[in-house]
Amino acid sequence: MQLYIFSVFCAVICLAIAQEETQARLLVHKRLLNKYLVEGRDLIADYNIYNVGGSAAVNVQLKDNSFPLQDFELIIGFPSMKLDRLAAGSNLSHTVIYRPKRTGLYNFTAAEVTYYPSEDSKELQVTYSTEPGEAVIILGKDFDRKFSPHMTDWAAFAVMTLPSLGIPFLLWYRSKSKYESIAKQKKH
* Pairwise pLDDT comparison (17 vs 160), residue with the higher score: 160
- Closest by Cα among 60, 114, 69 to 87: 60
pLDDT exceeds cutoff 60 at 20: no
Tell me the β-bridge partners of 92. 49
Backbone phi, then psi, for 133, in 5-degree steps?
Answer: 90, -155
Number of CB atoms found within 10 A of residue 97's CB: 15
Residue 83, strand partner residues:
60
Cα angle value 57/59/62 (rounded, 5°): 95
Ramachandran sector of residue 42 (left: φ over 0; alpha: ψ -120 to 50; beta: rest)? beta
Using pLDDT thresholds of 50, 70 and 90, give the confidence band for residue 186: confident
Hey, is 97 helix, strand or coil?
Answer: strand
Given a cut of 90, whether residue 152 has pLDDT beyond it is no
pLDDT tens digits along 23-78 = 889 999 999 999 999 999 999 999 999 999 888 999 999 999 999 989 999 999 99
Decide if 43 contacts 74 (C-beta within 8 A): no
pLDDT bucket at 150, cuts 50 / 70 / 90: confident
Phi–psi pair at 94, nearest 5 degrees: -140, 125
Tell me what pLDDT residue 23 has: 87
Q: What's this model's pTM, rounded to 2 decimal places? A: 0.70
- Partners of 106 in beta bridges: 135
